[in-house]
Structure formats: structure tokens, C-alpha cells
Structure 1
Amino acid sequence: MRHKLNLVRYNIEANIYRDTYLADSFASVVALDPQFAMNNWSLISEQFLGKANLVRNIGLAPDDIISHLYPLYRINLKMQA
């Protein structure tokens, strides 16, 4: 039983570390070239979410105002209008 619990713990930790690393890499891309990141938002976000296991969506908020969100849901599309 203890072995099974350790495996579950390991899998949870591995997923958290993986997604944290991916998020840090994503933040580095945005910090190094913000204009590139905004111009290619869908492509970059899709790549990030395709590799992440626990992240469901991602947003970009220059000046603390969310301007980019991926994926766009119907409710978000209404908010953009």
C-alpha cells in the first residue's frame, strides 16, 4: 500500500514540476520578446498547453489588464466584444 501511495505522490509531484518548468519557460519567452509573444499568442499558447498536464488556460496581462487569453471560450469572446 505504501508503495502505491509513493507512486501516486511521485506522479503528482512530477506533473507539478513539469508544468512549473513549462510555465517558467513560457514566461521567459514573453519577457524576452513581448511583442513576438503577443503577435504569436495562439501558436505559443497552444504549444504550451499541448505539453502541460495540469494547466487548462493561460492569460497575458500587460499593465495588470488581461489582454490575451487562451483558449478562448464563448464567454471570453463576448467579453472581448
Structure 2
Amino acid sequence: MAVFVLAICALFVDQQNRKVSDQLLRADVLAKVNIIRAKLEGNINGNLQLVQGLASAVTTEPYMGQQRFAALAANLFKEKSQLRNIAGAPDLVISLMYPMKGNEKALGLDYRKNEAQRMAALRARDQRALVLAGPVDLVQG
């Protein structure tokens, strides 16, 4: 009988140890994920701040040409960011691009006709705000 009670106690202790171990593992993973989330959130917010500055410039110069757009956009890429390229789409058609090299195929893209990006583009226009959307397959690859 004593052996039976000891076996039951041993099973109970083992089960409790597993629960504690699982909780510690879960807490460790959660802590690591929170660090990654905070870094990602900081990167996104930093990129949005950079883009907001360019958006403000475009708003004050609605007839901005490619040369002026490229000069302003180049400053965004001097900062540490995850931006690859940036486009301007007056009337929802891309006519401004930086950098131009490698992104030529995107020129002329009409967001009203692009199923994958239409809703985000319309929402950005209608709300007059930056919209984070994606992932999307870019026409320029």
C-alpha cells in the first residue's frame, strides 16, 4: 500500500514539475516575442514618420515632378529604415518613384485597376492618412 501511495505522489510531483516547466517556457517565449514586437513596432513607426514627411511635402507641392520627388525621397533612404522604394500616385496612378532603377515597371500602375492594392489605396486617399497594407506582390518584382 505504501508503494502505491508513493507512486501516486511521484506521478503528482512529476505532473506539477511539467506544468511549472511549461509555464516557464511559455513565459520565456512570450518575453522574447515581446522584444521582437517592440523592435518591429519601432521600425514601422520610424518608417511611417519618414514617409509622413514626404507626404506633407507632396501635399504642399501637388504638381511636383520626378526630379523634385526623387530629391526629397532620397533623404528618406539616408536614414536607417526598411524602405525599399517609395512611389507617388497622383490620381491613384504611379507617376513618381524613388529609386527609379529596378522599379520602372511600377510607373503607370493604376491602383483603381489593381485588385491587390485598390482597397488600401482608396482607403489612404479617402481617409487622407497613411495605410499599412500587405504583403503584396509588387509589379516590379
Pairwise TM-score range, normalised by the shorter structure: 0.7 to 0.9
> Larger helix proportion, structure 1 or 2?
1
**How big is each residue's C-alpha offset from its partner over 1:36-62, in whole Å with a ceiling of 9 and x where there is no partner?**
x43412211111122252221111122
TM-score in terms of structure 2 length: 0.47
Of 75, 81, 93 in structure 2, the residue corresponding to residue 65 of structure 1 is: 93
Question: Structure 1 residue 31 and structure 2 residue 55: aligned?
Answer: no
Q: Structure 1: 5+ residue runs without aligned partners? A: none
Q: Which amino acid aligns with 2:92?
A: D
Q: Structure 2: 5+ residue runs without aligned partners? A: 1-27, 109-141
TM-score in terms of structure 1 length: 0.74
Identity across aligned pairs (percent)?
Answer: 27
Matches within 5 A, 1:4-23: 4-23=32-51
CA-based RMSD of the aligned residues comes to: 2.4
User: Structure 1 stretches (4+) deviating beyond 6 angstroms?
Assistant: none
For residues 52 and 31 of structure 1, do their structure 2 counterparts lie closer, same or farther at Cα, with a shift above 3 Å needed?
farther
In structure 2, the residue matched to 1:56 is 84
If you compute each CA radius of gyration, which structure gives the higher value, 1 or 2? 2
Q: Which has the higher contact order (CA 8 A, sep 6+)?
A: 1
